Amino acid sequence: METLTAKPAITRDTKKLVAMQKIQSVALKAIHDFFEREGFLQLMPIMLSPITDPLGPDPGSSVLKTGEIEYLGQKLQLTQSMILHKQIAIGLGLEKFYIMSPNIRLEAAERRATGKHAFEFTQVDFEIKGATMSDVFKLVEGLLKAIVDDVKIRAVEELELLNREIPKWRFPFRQVTTHELEDQYGSDWESSASLDTDTPFWAICHDREFYDKKDYSREGEHFLNYDLIYPEGFGEALSGAEREHEYDRLMQRITEDKLDPKKYASYLALAKEDRLSPSAGGGLGVERLVRYLTGSKHVGDVQVFRRVPGETLLY
Amino acid sequence: METLTAKPAITRDTKKLVAMQKIQSVALKAIHDFFEREGFLQLMPIMLSPITDPLGPDPGSSVLKTGEIEYLGQKLQLTQSMILHKQIAIGLGLEKFYIMSPNIRLEAAERRATGKHAFEFTQVDFEIKGATMSDVFKLVEGLLKAIVDDVKIRAVEELELLNREIPKWRFPFRQVTTHELEDQYGSDWESSASLDTDTPFWAICHDREFYDKKDYSREGEHFLNYDLIYPEGFGEALSGAEREHEYDRLMQRITEDKLDPKKYASYLALAKEDRLSPSAGGGLGVERLVRYLTGSKHVGDVQVFRRVPGETLLY
């Protein structure tokens, strides 16, 4: 019999791991209860597709490549996010839905140090036909309040075991533009601004992916998009936007981003036939949420199976 | 501007698609409510790992290959099922849990014809430390009853639109051995036996993967495993087993199956250290469940994004 060379399991504090999974379970249940009350359908995720979110061009991105496999002669990409599919689903008649969507982003090894990057994680990815930014703000604030309220009531022992006290938040969350944040904290504003508060805040107006809608009512480069930032240094919780859906504007944005429109051919074909619609939505990272709720140092600490860039995987 | 060559969206009956997603949403909510009531934790899925379910050796399998990518020097496989990870999670102190687990199985194109194969789908994958087959039977019968009851109450209009009447089931479900089924229906018993009933039944004792426990209390080849078969020709609903967890038995089964133990090194190392435990569990396919509930011809018909072997994907 051959000798097996794998190392034993990474030592985990079992009690803490179980407590974190309990807090996660309470949070997930609160999420499902909330979206059902709000009349959302739950759709199933997909992991392989001819198209996926390009995640850029973004000078802040360190994704090395898009995971890809070949199957029966087709090249299929691993889901980086389901944003394009959410827009297509709206085109297929689904007006208000969420998806528990695993995302794979093959980050550079140095992202290990940020504490908030895992190379696979799950987003609570939602989209609403005809919605605006302010609709999403109201929805997400209600969602986060429901989650935190449930966790504080249903996971008392677990929070105590983890020595975690979640601060009381003030509603509604503050809205700040990225221009203001840059003026106050510099271009790397996220962690400083996050450390500077004990209530989440909305960072609005980011110059990023082509599907985030430009504010055509204003001069200059303004965008109808938003990130939600956790307090206490935990950083980004959610990212979202109103969406571009018109063919000419999508083509212009894709061209400006120097992306290859052929890569989005089936999506653009729907836009050309006017089968996409205005919508807004976002994606809330489950593991980052649990990291915040449990006050954990690294997002990998809350994963039963750590998926941290640069770490060797045993299983 | 280049001409885009993608074809327009596959024409879908929007009303039916939305009705199916509503029935799916009611079913998913019933699943979460049920597992919470029963005290299960919900864990997050993983999609990439150095180890995954071999799905065989199985003469009935037509999976062409395991999806694989390379990331930072590690070869990682796409999840075919999380069975090995469920056993490891029990080793890490998680005693009773479920996972909404997307599975990727790159099936041969001819599997398109079965009506029940998609190359990606989601399993409700659960595992219970120290449980036996009969514990699982009772749990799953309660789960399916809760789902069907909720769908019949909360999706009346949708069932009507789809012209679907779900028959009334008799509890507890019948248990039949695969030996009896083969005697009655021949080796390809699944669809004939499924057509022959209007209540699900348990097909027990399958000679299959190494992690399904052999019945060491009996002479000959008997196994402590089970499939749940839907009535009306819809076929397999769930697959599960009591598990092998002892190093020597696992090694023997792996050797008998002519699999390479090095591929399961980290899992076997845990077994060798006695860190795996007896458990039982199973996986209920979400899309097959929704196919049954909606009375759909093909499992792909209930997927917003069809993932049927041999079909060209647009998105």
Q: A74 contacts in B (CB within 8 Å)?
A: 312-313
Return d(Cα B23, Cα B46) in angstroms, integer.
26
* pLDDT over 70 at A300, yes or no: yes
What are the phi and psi torsion angles at B199 (to 5°)? -130, 140
Distance from the A106 Cα atom to the nearest Cα atom in chain B, whole angstroms? 7
The string of pLDDT tens digits covering residues A9-41 is 456 899 999 999 999 999 999 999 999 999 999
Nearest Cα residue to A26 out of A165, A153, A118, A168: A153
A266–B106: do the CB atoms touch at under 8 Å? no
Residue B10, pLDDT score:
54
Residue of A nearest to B6 (CA): A266
* Shortest Cα distance, chain B CAs vs residue A178, angstroms: 32
Whether A266 sits inside 8 A of B314 (CB atoms) is yes
Q: Which residues of B touch A5 (CB under 8 A)?
A: 265
- pLDDT, tens digit, 9 for 90 and up, residues A218-251: 999 999 999 999 999 999 999 999 999 999 999 9
pLDDT for the residue numbered B100: 98
* Distance (Å) from the alpha carbon of B174 to chain A's nearest alpha carbon: 31
Q: What is the pLDDT of residue B61?
A: 79
Closest CA to A229 of A189, A207, A201, A193: A201
For chain A, the average pLDDT equals 95
Q: Which of A297, A135, A159 shows the shortest CA–CA distance to A232? A: A297
Q: d(Cα A226, Cα A135) in Å, to the nearest integer?
A: 12
pLDDT value, residue B12: 84
> Using one digit for the tens of pLDDT, what is the confidence trace for A250-288?
999 999 999 999 999 999 999 999 999 999 999 999 999
Residue of B13, B33, B71, B299 for testing the chain A interface, max A β-carbons within 10 Å: B71
The answer, yes or no, to whether residue A8 has pLDDT greater than 50, is no
Say how far residue B235 (Cα) sits from the centre of its chain.
12
B251 contacts on A by Cβ (under 8 Å):
1
pTM: 0.96
Residue whose C-alpha is closest to residue A228's, from A256, A190, A185: A190
Q: For the purposes of burial, counting CB atoms within 10 Å of the CB of B156, is it exposed (0-12), middle (13-18) or buried (19 or more)?
A: exposed
Compare all CA atoms of chain B with the CA of A105 and give the residue at the minimum distance.
B71
CB atoms within 10 A of CB A243: 25
| A311 CA: distance to closest CA in chain B (Å) | 9
Tokens of A270: 């729907």
Q: Which of B4, B111, B293 to mutate to test the interface with A (most CBs of A within 10 A)?
A: B4
Sorting pLDDT into bands at 50, 70 and 90, what band is A60? confident
Cross-chain residue pair B42–A51, CB shorter than 8 Å:
no
Task: For residues A315 and B76, give the distance between their C-alpha atoms in angstroms, rounded to a whole number.
Answer: 10
Task: Please report the pLDDT score of residue A2 as a whole number.
Answer: 36
Chain B hits for A273, Cβ within 8 Å? 8
Instruction: Tell me whether residues B72 and A7 touch, CB distance under 8 A.
Output: no
Low-confidence residues in chain B, pLDDT < 50: 1-9
Tokens linked to B138 = 């009772």
Contact residues, chain B, for A92 at CB < 8 Å: 9, 12, 14, 17, 304
- A26's CB contacts (< 8 A; 6+ apart) are A150, A151, A154, A155
pLDDT of A59 strictly over 80? no
User: Between chains, do B9 and A109 touch, taking CB under 8 Å as contact?
Assistant: no
Task: Using the predicted structure, report yes or no on whether residue A5 has a pLDDT greater than 80.
Answer: no
Closest CA to A57 of A222, A204, A258: A258
Nearest chain B CA: its distance from A25 CA (Å):
5
Q: Kindly report the nearest CA distance between residue B191 and chain A, in angstroms.
A: 26
CB contact under 8 A, B6 and A265: yes
Q: What is the pLDDT of residues A71-82, one digit of tens each?
A: 999 999 999 999
CB nearest to A43's CB, from B21, B48, B89: B21
Put simply, the answer to whether B21 touches A7 (Cβ < 8 Å) is: no
Q: Which two tokens stand for residue A300?
A: 């990998």
Model confidence over A145-183: pLDDT tens digits? 999 999 999 999 999 999 999 999 999 999 999 999 999
Q: Which two tokens stand for residue A71?
A: 């199957």
Task: Quote the Cα angle for A46-A47-A48, to 5°.
Answer: 100
Closest CA to B81 of B114, B45, B113, B112: B45
- Nearest CB among B17, B43, B48 relative to A92 is that of B17
* Spatial CA neighbour of B102 closest among A120, A90, A47: A47
| CA–CA gap between residue A75 and residue A54 (Å, rounded) | 16
Q: Which two structure tokens, joined as six digits, stand for A283?
A: 């994606």
Q: Tell me what pLDDT residue B76 has.
A: 98
Q: Do A29 and B24 touch (CB under 8 A)?
A: no
Residue A7, pLDDT score? 41
The DSSP H or E segment spanning A176 is strand A174-177
Strands B41-43 and A279-285: unpaired
Cβ pair B266:A314 closer than 8 A = yes
Q: For B48, name the nearest residue in chain A, comparing CA atoms only.
A: A120
ipTM exceeding 0.90, yes/no: yes
